Structure 1
Amino acid sequence: MKNAVITGGTKGLGLEMTKEFLKSDCSVIICGSSEEGIEKAKSELSRYENRVLILKCDVTKPEEIEALWKKGREAFGNIDIWINNAGINQPYRKISELPYDSISKIVDTNIKGMIYGSEIALKGMISQGCGAIYNMEGLGSDGMIQRKTAIYGTSKRALTYFTKALAKEVEGSKIIVGRLSPGMMVTDFITKPAKGEARSAAEEEDFKKIFNLLADTPETVAEFLVPEILNNNKNDVQIIWLTKRKAALRFAKGMFVKRELIK
């Protein structure tokens, strides 16, 4: 049995991964930034109350992440797995139209929050002698550029570089660092642009076509990722759900098999 921390674990993929870890007899510490999300997660996970700790944490504040680590250690002992999953999307706008506060929030959460989480987990794992850190990739991680996603994509490109650099630094130790690539999922994070900015009719139609071909539910992705994480012992690994081969097969099958995740 292992103990895992998942930031941003009160909803979406984070919550579904929590459920999968719990089904595998792990103990899990999760955090969210809203009281509403925390209460909903507590309700959904009530049957596992002895093996799950749900806390409020703002990942842009290192002192709160340090408290998350400390409370997790106090509750369950060593932290074997730390997943930096917390992230926010950007308003669906061009760079010239983005408010400065939106840019700051994305950078603070997706880049600085991920770096703080990695550093605090690394220090703790050095102290305890072992552990695994995983960071969650997203649109932009592989260098693909999409209109009106510049800041979010930049944050994920930075995440990939940082994670690979961190993996280099832990080589030869009993700590491993890796990346999780979940692909497209049916969550508000992707299906609804931040703050409700609407896509044009043409943009919406194109989005639906691609989404219905390639997307999956968070439950499906979590069922794949968690066993891979639990079984992995390699450093600098990238655990990919939507591989290029899988995507190509879906495009090929799309002529004959209709997937309708969103209408």
Structure 2
Amino acid sequence: MTNAQRFIGKVAFVTGAASGIGRAAAIAFAREGAKVAISDRSEDALEQLRAEIERNGGEVLAVTCDVAEPGQVETAIARTVERFGRLDCAFNNAGVENKAASVHEIHMDEWDRILDINLRGTFTCMKHELAQMVAQGSGVVVNTSSGAGIRGVAGGAAYSASKHAIIGLTRSAALDYAAKGIRVNAVLPGNIETPMMDRFTGGDIQKAIDLEPVGRLGKPEEIAEAVLWMCSDLGGFVTGAATVIDGGWSL
């Protein structure tokens, strides 16, 4: 059972918030009292989420943002701090899957697209989030890696490379900021019920279910709950962690 008071007085910033895991996390933060800044490239879906959070009594700022564009990231975080005065929790969740291909068949523009969004985008978000957290003397960052960040994926070299790199980035940042009152962790989801999984399987979800030893897909809310725990006081002794939440898929 969650404590509905965990994030009262806190400010959370969530990327990739328009759907899937990001959406579930934004709703959960708001439900537990946080003021939430939500960002995504999809303006319409972002607006729908903003309206839903407000209908349920939450305080929310919606900022359209492509994490592959550094200027947009800087603006999104600046607007968050301008509106709410601080930044306590940042969930860097925006990411995309690659077009399945063997390494020699990967086009350079596809490689760059995946790395720009998944890895460079995460780094750019962290750069500005951490600057604010250093200034205020506290904060928590959680990055979305993947089960593909600790194993190979046939046809998924670009995606897997980006997610492996996020773990290294997370662990290095955790050491950089541990003495400054700031924690940095990563979650590694497996096969989750999200629009990305629909795209990846071509709508044949059973293919993904068959990969899961537990016999089902994970729910976005299950990943969101882990993110909130990492951002809460109960996760206060956890930094540099890469927490696998994948139903045994990566074993």
Q: TM-score range by the shorter chain?
A: 0.7 to 0.9
- Tell me the secondary structure at the aligned position of residue 186 of structure 2: strand
Q: Following TM superposition, by how much is the alpha carbon of 1:176 offset from its aligned partner in structure 2, in angstroms?
A: 1.3
| Partner of residue 136, structure 1 | 144
Q: Does the alignment pair 1:91 with 2:99?
A: yes
CA RMSD of aligned residues (A): 2.5
Q: Does the alignment pair 1:217 with 2:219?
A: yes
Structure 1 segment 1-263 matched on structure 2, within 5 A: 1=8, 2-48=10-56, 51-142=59-150, 144-193=151-200, 207-211=208-212, 213-230=215-232, 231-238=234-241, 240=243, 242=245, 247=248
Equivalenced residues, count: 240
Could you tell me which amino acid in structure 2 is paired with residue 170 of structure 1?
Y
Could you tell me which amino acid in structure 2 is paired with residue 84 of structure 1?
N
Cα-to-partner distance string for 1:49-76 (whole Å, 9 max, x where unaligned): 7511111011112221111111111211
Query: Does the C-alpha gap of structure 1 residues 225 and 174 become closer, same or farther in structure 2, counting only changes over 3 Å?
Result: closer
| Partner of residue 257, structure 1 | none
Cα-to-partner distance string for 1:186-233 (whole Å, 9 max, x where unaligned): 112123229x5x99xxxx875441147252121233234323422321
Query: Does the C-alpha gap of structure 1 residues 205 and 40 become closer, same or farther in structure 2, counting only changes over 3 Å?
Result: closer
- Tell me the secondary structure at the aligned position of residue 39 of structure 2: strand
Counterpart Cα distance in 2 of 1:172 and 1:56 = 33
- Tell me the secondary structure at the aligned position of residue 4 of structure 1: strand
Give 5+ residue unaligned stretches, structure 2.
Answer: 1-7
Q: Which has the larger radius of gyration?
A: 1
Give 5+ residue unaligned stretches, structure 1.
Answer: 252-263
Counterpart Cα distance in 2 of 1:101 and 1:24 = 41
Q: After TM superposition, where is structure 1 displaced by more than 4 Å over at least 4 residues in a row?
A: none
Q: Following TM superposition, by how much is the alpha carbon of 1:118 offset from its aligned partner in structure 2, in angstroms?
A: 0.8
Cα-to-partner distance string for 1:109-144 (whole Å, 9 max, x where unaligned): 0111111111111111111221111111113322x1
Q: Following TM superposition, by how much is the alpha carbon of 1:183 offset from its aligned partner in structure 2, in angstroms?
A: 2.6
Query: Does the C-alpha gap of structure 1 residues 21 and 99 become closer, same or farther in structure 2, counting only changes over 3 Å?
Result: same
Q: Aligned residues: percent identity?
A: 24
Could you tell me which amino acid in structure 1 is paired with residue 152 of structure 2?
I
TM-score norm. by structure 2 comes to 0.86
